[in-house]
Amino acid sequence: MSLGIATLVAIDVVNASSNASIDDLVTAYAGRAALTVTAGSGTLARDALATARRVEGVTAAAGSIQSALLVGPERRIALPFLAGIGDDTEIRERSFDRGAAPGRDEVALGREAARRLAIDVGATFAALTPSGLRELRVSGILAERGIGRANATFVAVLDSETADRIALKEGRIDAIDVATAPTADLDRIGASLRDALPGTNVETAAARGAQTKKLVALLQDLLRIVSALALFIGTFLVFNTMSTAVAQRRQELGIARALGATRRDILLLVAVEALVLGVVAALIGVVAGTALARGLLVSINEQIRATYIAGLADQLVVAWPRLALLALAGIAASLAGALVPAVLAARVPVREAVFEPPHIALVRPLRLRLLVVAAALGLVSVALVQLQRETRDTTPTNAAVIALMLGIAAAASPLLALAVRAIGPLVDRAFGPPARLARDSVLRRPGRAAVTAAALAAGVTMVVGLASVIESARRPVFGWL
């Protein structure tokens, strides 16, 4: 269970950290702008900046060129840069710890960028750009305010002429950031900007950040599925542990009942044991998960930088209230895993608990009815996947995964019992009495053996599913290439 909670915490922290870095980058780039104008596809003509300025309600408009430099003495890393055009000083705050604003073939670096490149004002470095390898001189180090705080200070600022030349923009710009009066009607100004600049998108910084985060939503959803699977398997392990503990102490529990303990007392006894197990696992899982997140963030962000957002910072964001909720989720999962063993322990009559009756190897009707439940959950999962295809919302997919896992859990016990009964005679003839003893042991309590089978089945299901998603994404890309 500790490993399951650690995985849940690590992936949640990584996803939250990536999203926070995206929000920080978008907000810092937008500065004081209320709206951002981007092309429906490609870039904007530079004269669109003058058109935006003339729209009623616009108080300032700054164009920007946004790209990245590949820098580093050994391993190239993407350093995002921005170059402002027009009313840039009115839109974005730009101040310096030392040095000055960049001129031709110069660059101002954020603190983290300067630290990682081990350079200071006056030094030069080579950067791989769309126009080839360029030598750039460091004109200044940005203060940790305004644009200087973007991307955890791993950012660069160039002058517009240099940025246009090295990024091969040919006089075009990537975005226009628009400032308005504090009480302005943004919906009306946005509509006017779209009318004045047909084919453009007009969004607030928050909306643009949300749109950017949609690019990495698939990857994050896959990670959430992995974390849910880890917690799901942890719940199974708690069930198996508590079932074994109850079985081993069956006579002790029976004696306790004979001495006056009520069924409620037995139920609480098992539940408290599971609670202690869950609390200890949660504490270990939160600490281990936070530590694991530091290493995992670098790996995940490396994929995001390579595929979606160049230069995204590895800035770990830990929200302790969120971690407390995840710890409670782990404790709840531990209690859920112990629920069935606790109820069964409380329901066993005193006579049967003290004197074990002869076992009968059969599949009870109740267990067969679990197949109906599993089939229903499978249908719910299919329906949720279909809903996701129609709505393009990721929430139904997460719910479908949960329904599928619950379906596997429900079907595991009856399917295992039926399979053992079906192949039992063949196994008996092949391996003799030991095989019969093993078969009878499984049929006596198929639920306990089904826990391991269900955990393995869930793991294989997720591995196959994730591999299918990755292959589905890979083929169109390679086909296009």
Does 373 have pLDDT greater than 60? yes
293-306 confidence digits (pLDDT tens):
888 887 777 767 66
Estimate to the nearest angstrom the gap between the alpha carbon of 421 and the chain centroid: 42
Question: CA-to-CA distance for 231 and 281, rounded, in angstroms?
Answer: 11
Answer whether 84's CB lies under 8 Å from 108's CB: no
CA pair distance 294, 235, nearest whole angstrom: 26
Question: Is 352's pLDDT higher than 70?
Answer: no
* Residue 398 pLDDT grade (very low, low, confident, very high; cuts 50, 70, 90): low
pLDDT at 307: 62
R_g of the chain, CA atoms, integer Å? 30
Tokens 């009942």 — which residue?
Answer: 257
Q: Enter the tokens of residue 460.
A: 């294989």
CA-to-CA separations, 368 to 30, 412, 414, 420, 452, in angstroms, rounded? 60, 11, 6, 14, 19
Tens-place pLDDT, residues 257-289 = 778 888 888 888 888 888 888 888 888 888 888
* pLDDT greater than 70 at residue 378: yes
The whole-angstrom separation of Cα 388 and Cα 469 is 15
The lowest-confidence range among 82-86, 237-241, 251-255, 362-366 is 362-366
**Cβ neighbours of residue 279 under 8 Å, at least 6 residues apart?**
331
Which of these, 138, 39, 37, 48, lies nearest to 96 by C-alpha position? 138
Rounded CA gap, 99 and 109, in Å?
A: 10
Long-range contacts of 213-220 (CB under 8 A, 24+ apart): 213/19, 213/22, 213/23, 215/308, 215/309, 216/18, 216/22, 216/304, 216/308, 216/309, 217/394, 218/394, 218/469, 218/473, 219/300, 219/303, 219/304, 220/15, 220/18
Give the Cα separation of 152 and 8 in Å (integer): 25
User: pLDDT of 96-154, one tens digit each?
Assistant: 999 999 999 999 999 989 998 889 999 999 998 888 899 999 999 999 888 888 877 88
The CA-based dihedral angle spanning residues 200, 203, 208, 210, taken in that order and rounded to the nearest 10 degrees: -120
Residue 156 is predicted with a pLDDT of: 92
Per the model's pLDDT, the better-predicted residue between 367 and 8 turns out to be: 8
pLDDT in tens, 405-450: 777 777 777 777 777 777 777 777 777 777 677 666 666 666 666 6
pLDDT of the residue at 189: 92
Pairing relationship of beta strands 132-142 and 106-109 according to DSSP bridges: parallel
User: Is pLDDT of 18 > 50?
Assistant: yes
Mean local confidence (pLDDT), 332-345: 85
Residue 242's pLDDT is what? 82
Q: Residue 28: pLDDT above 90?
A: no
**Mean per-residue pLDDT, 72-87:** 84
